[in-house]
Amino acid sequence: MQLGAQGDITSLIATLLWLLFFAIFFFYPSFSQRIQLSHMLRDLERKLGRLKQIRDDVRSRTLQVLGGYSERKDLDKELDRLVNSFMIPPESMDPYGVVYKLEHIAVTWEDSFEDMVRELCPKADRERAKTLTNLVEVTRGVDLIYRIVRHFYLMGKKTNNIYLVLQLQMLMPQIMEIAEAYRQASYAFSEGQPIGDGVGVLAVAKLVKDAEKKTYEIAKDTVVHELVFEGRRLLAVRAAGPGGAVGRPGEGVKRLVEAENGRVGAIITVDAGLKLEGEETGKIVEGIGVAIGGIGIDKYKIEEIAKENRIPLYAFVIYESIAEAITPMKESIAKAADKVLEKIKAIIREKVKEGETVIVAGIGNTVGIGMT
Amino acid sequence: MFQSRQGLGKVPRPLTFLLCLNCKTENSRPFKDGDYVFKEVEEKCPKCGEQRMVITGIYVREERQQAR
């Protein structure tokens, strides 16, 4: 009897619970979505916490390094001013001449940013000031990532928009990888260590090393080495080091071609390029075109002058990931500089006749890579 | 708000590779502030004792992947 009564109560409770769950799912269809949303928001909050930690770490390192070259007491406020500064791209409704408008704005922005850093750190020499500018740019980059992620997280939370949160959550692994790369980059720029992006410059520096040459500045932070290579006139363009700079290779190559009255046998560019996941770091690939990243000004200028004068464009790219490009140079990337050197020599021998002029441009950030 | 209890990972330190200008021996040491590639430094060569060396490379050593 007793066993039978207990069984009735258990069955009644089970029925009530079933009815309750049924009612919840019947009257509140988005219930499962709500649970999913709260899970995603919790995951995002954890990752945002880590992003904040990275941002604070980079910022404190930057302040510490800048403090070594400055006596300013309001250094943190000044750093905030730099970190929050911005560049407004030109209006492109009428695209005519937009590249030169963009160049004007970008150059003004870069120069004023560098001037502000120099003013802040009067004790830093020219080379160090350039590297410090890069360090502040890293701080600005990681701060921007944090603020954008926080914006979408709070927006998703406020509006309970699962689709907004979902998109952010899907992108978070890549965002976290980039943020961690920025953190490692801050160490590289604090101490002036070569980074993966500098492999193009390193290759060109090795190409002209030990050769008898004439060196001069062709554009801001951009130098040319003039030498003779197996009967051909070789003009090697690179950013001036060892301070952190990318120079203006587009303007440099344009001025060189103009000075040669368009009589150039080939323009060869060497740069680091983004590899696909699963590909080998340091792999060298070659192709046709201009191997230059960035906002496109340098690439446009070289393409334009090459088209005008019918100069063939050859390119070498050394594969690396986005993280490897801004963190201290890896062994496989450094070794690739030696290998690409032989490929450049081979293409000059094959495509440029004796007596002709060839331009070789090493693209990338020259931090930690001196002049040869 | 937005606190993470997880610590930040270690950052790989590069090595500086130096070539003796006398005996052409290459050796390495941990990177020091002020080092840059192609810089001539006044450091003693561990083999011949020459005081002038040149930095030939600065990079992070990678562990060799075992062949499968």
Contact A49 B3 (CB under 8 A): yes
Residue-level pLDDT at A122: 94
Buried b or exposed e, range A165-185, using 16+ CB within 10 angstroms: beebbeebeebbebbbbbbbb
CA distance B24 to B18: 9
Residue with the bigger pLDDT between A42 and A26: it is: A42
Give domain status of residue B36, yes or no: yes
Q: What pLDDT, on a 0 to 100 scale, did the predictor assign at position A362?
A: 97
Residue A101, pLDDT above cutoff 70:
yes
Residue B10's pLDDT is 83
pLDDT tens, A167-181? Answer: 999 999 999 999 999
- Is residue B29 included in any domain, yes or no? yes
What is the ipTM, given to two decimal places?
0.88
Q: What pLDDT score does A15 carry? A: 92
Of residues B11, B35, B59, nearest to A187 (C-beta): B11
**pLDDT of residue A127 exceeding 80:** yes
**Burial track B25-42 (b if 16+ CB lie within 10 A, e otherwise):** eeeeeebeeebbbbbeee
Shortest distance between the Cα of B14 and any Cα of chain A, in A, equals 7
What mean pLDDT is predicted for residues A306-320? Answer: 97
pLDDT value at position B1? 59
> What's chain A's average pLDDT?
93
Kindly state whether residue B24 falls inside one of the protein's structural domains.
yes
Supply the range of the domain harboring residue B47.
15-59
Closest by Cα among A88, A84, A79 to A61: A79
Q: Is B33 within the bounds of a domain?
A: yes
Q: What is the DSSP string of A161-204?
A: -HHHHHHHHHHHHHHHHHHHHHHHHHHHHHHT--BGGGHHHHHH
Which amino acid belongs to residue A303?
Answer: E
Query: Cβ A370–B58 below 8 Å, yes or no?
Result: no
With CA atoms as reference, report the closest residue to A362 among A317, A297, A320, A310. Answer: A317
A333 contacts A270 by C-beta, under 8 angstroms: no
Confidence band of A188 (pLDDT split at 50, 70, 90): very high
Q: What percent of chain A has pLDDT over 70?
A: 97
Q: Please give the Cα distance from A77 to A73 (Å, whole number).
A: 9
d(CA B10, CA B13) in angstroms, rounded, equals: 9
HEC sequence for B1-66: CCCCCCCCCCCCCCEEEEEECCCCCEEEEECCCCCCECCEEECCCCCCCCCEEEEEEEEECCCCCC
What's the pLDDT band for A32 if we cut at 50, 70, 90?
A: confident
Does residue B8 fall inside a structural domain? no
Does residue B2 lie within any of the structural domains? no
- The whole-number mean pLDDT for each consecutive block of 10 residues of chain B, a chain of 68 residues, reads 67 93 93 94 90 95 63
DSSP reduced 3-state for A271: strand
Whether residue B2 and residue A45 make contact (CB cut-off 8 A), yes or no, is: yes
Of A129, A124, A317, nearest to A240 (Cα)?
Answer: A129
Contact between chains at B8 and A205 (C-beta distance less than 8 A)? no
Which residue is closest to A337 within chain B, CA to CA?
B57
Residues 6 or more apart in contact with residue A337 via CB below 8 angstroms: A199, A202, A203, A206, A318
In the A/B pair of chains, how many CB contacts fall below 8 A? 84
Q: Chain A partners of B38 at a C-beta cutoff of 8 Å?
A: 205, 209, 369-372
Preceding peptide of A242 cis, ω within 30°: yes
Tally of domains in chain B: 1
Report all structural domains of chain A as residue ranges with CATH numbers, in order of start. 31-191 (no CATH), 196-362 (3.40.50.1470)
- Residue A235's CB is within 10 A of a number of other CB atoms, namely 23
Half-sphere exposure of A102 (CA within 13 A, CB side): 16
State the CATH number of the domain containing residue B20.
2.20.28
The residue count of chain A comes to 372
